[in-house]
Amino acid sequence: MAVRSWMIAFVVFTGIFEQLVALQAESNFTELPETVYGTYVNDPSRERNFAELSSLFPLPDSVSWQSNTRMWIGKLEDEYAVRYVVDSVYSFGFLFKLNEKGNITFRSVPVEYVYKITDHDATSNTTTLVAEFVTERGSFTVTCVFDGKSLTKTYRSAGREAFRYYKRILPIFVDGTYEPVPELVAPEEEANEFCHHVDDIAKIQFYRDGNNTHYNRVTLQSGTSTVYPFHLDGRTENASSGNLSITYKYEYPHGPRTVLYQTTNVVGTDKNISSVATFNQTGVVVVYKSGGTEIKRFYRRMLPSTVLAKFKSTPSTDQFTAFAKDIKLANLAEDITVEIAETPDHTYVQRNFKGGDNSSIDFPFVLGQKMTQSVEGRDVEYTHLFLEDVHPVLRTVWEGLQDGPRKLDIVGTFTPDGYKATYISGDRVASRNYTRISRDEA
């Protein structure tokens, strides 16, 4: 199954256990409530004993559990999935079916695990999900209590306990800048006054203040913009646009998709607009409604200028050279210049220049879409994913590399001076720095 092969590549969250226990998977619940679905981020101020217990679950040397940790839980085809992202770079996770034993091998160690729901209260939206992991070294249990807005996790191993608190948030991939795609507008809509109003939107931006307040900035063709600070609980909030006073609210419902509802009212009038925005890695589809009119628009996700530049690799370290040889891609350690640029048709291209060579291997891409390119007679598949995090992050998943691993992730964390590329192949991790250069430089 394609989904399983994708998820199995993530590192499984296991540790050094002290005793072997039997699996107990009895449960009357066979489906995960949708109120559990979503993205969660840890709150370090509400942890207890986790720093001590997390040492049982070693991550690569360059990654620390003390960094920002996000967890996503949802459904992929006929299975559920859990995925973690640590420090915006390192990802791991696995698939499961409730009450069924799962198997995976992590660092040559066989692991068995079972997820089961032990309690669900539909009135309070509270769900208790228990995960049991077993290896030849011992066992570990995680009890997850979801309440619709947050997640509390209790870790137990060999008589020790630790606690970690997670807050439900909008997925990080929502943040960023989006621009409309005019060619997708139906011709018959052009004469509609409400459509003209919507089509005056030149740019939409989402960003956040930590993980508390979110912001939606809408910029018009004239350059004027309105910022809407918002929360996810449906509270009514206030803003001004020119001489108009506006009340509005945003709601982020539970479910398998990332959907954001907005209702806007102009104070003192009967004018109101509602919208439903559905996000994915490619962009956002927005359905606007006002009166009896409903129209749909697609806004593509854009890369910022920090990413759209030319970069030259710094000399490889011994560690990176050893990593490249270990995964049978020794040419990764060679000098390379990478250019990321926007194309006239509003898509993107990554150009790789080897050494002082002026010719490049080009990889056209659309954010969030799997692409295929022929390299030296072999088809290579790749997907570029963008996150507007603390620093912009461009993640590229490569598959089908000649003589190399089945899958290689390259995660670029960008600053004005360049970017740090973290290379991930299975449980092997190494990094290399790239310096921003002039586009005229080789």
Specify the CATH number for the domain of residue 187: 2.40.128.20
Domain boundary residue, one of 169, 193, 224: 169
Q: How many CB atoms sit inside 10 A of residue 415's CB?
A: 11
Tell me, yes or no, whether 184 lies in a domain: yes
Statement to judge: residues 288 and 163 lie in one domain: no
β partners of residue 198: none
Statement to judge: residues 13 and 50 lie in one domain: yes
Tell me, yes or no, whether 442 lies in a domain: no
With pLDDT > 90 as the criterion, what percentage of the chain qualifies?
57
Range with the lowest mean pLDDT among 273-277, 407-411, 424-428, 436-440? 436-440
How much is the pLDDT for 23?
38
- Amino acid identity, residue 358? N
In terms of pLDDT, which residue wins out, 24 or 123?
A: 123
Is residue 135's pLDDT more than 70?
A: yes
* Whole-number Å distance between alpha carbons of 61 and 403: 26
Statement to judge: residues 222 and 324 lie in one domain: no
Statement to judge: residues 261 and 323 lie in one domain: no
Look over the chain and give the mean of its residue pLDDT values, rounded to a whole number: 86
The predicted-structure confidence for 34-79, as pLDDT tens digits, reads as follows 999 999 999 999 999 988 877 766 677 778 887 789 999 999 888 9
Give the 3-state secondary structure percentages of the chain, helix then strand then coil, rounded to 5.
10, 55, 35
Enclosing domain of residue 314? 310-437
Statement to judge: residues 214 and 351 lie in one domain: no
Tell me, yes or no, whether 59 lies in a domain: yes
The predicted-structure confidence for 414-441, as pLDDT tens digits, reads as follows 999 999 999 999 878 899 999 999 766 6
Identify the helix (H) or strand (E) that includes residue 112.
Answer: strand 109-121
Is residue 211's pLDDT more than 70?
A: no
Statement to judge: residues 37 and 128 lie in one domain: yes
- Where are any strands of DSSP class E within 355-400? 360-365, 370-375, 378-388, 392-399
How much is the pLDDT for 333?
92
Torsion 81-71-161-137 (CA) sign: positive
Statement to judge: residues 153 and 180 lie in one domain: no
Is residue 188's pLDDT more than 60?
A: no
Residue where the block lists tokens 């990094």: 431
Statement to judge: residues 16 and 143 lie in one domain: yes
Domain boundary residue, one of 127, 149, 169: 169
Is residue 398's pLDDT more than 70?
A: yes
> Can you give the pTM of this predicted structure?
0.82
* Whole-number Å distance between alpha carbons of 84 and 102: 18
How far is C-alpha 95 from the geometric centre of its chain's CA atoms?
17
Token pair, residue 404, equals 């190399």
Is residue 151's pLDDT more than 90?
A: yes
Tell me, yes or no, whether 317 lies in a domain: yes
Cβ 250 vs Cβ 262: under 8 Å: yes
Domain boundary residue, one of 149, 169, 189: 169
* Whole-number Å distance between alpha carbons of 199 and 181: 10
For the chain, the domain total comes to 3
Which pLDDT band, with edges at 50, 70 and 90, does 247 fall under?
A: very high
Which pLDDT band, with edges at 50, 70 and 90, does 184 fall under?
A: low
Tell me, yes or no, whether 416 lies in a domain: yes
The predicted-structure confidence for 279-334, as pLDDT tens digits, reads as follows 999 999 999 999 888 999 999 999 999 999 999 999 999 999 999 999 999 889 99
Is residue 12's pLDDT more than 50?
A: no
Name the nearest CA neighbour of 178 among 277, 251, 259: 277
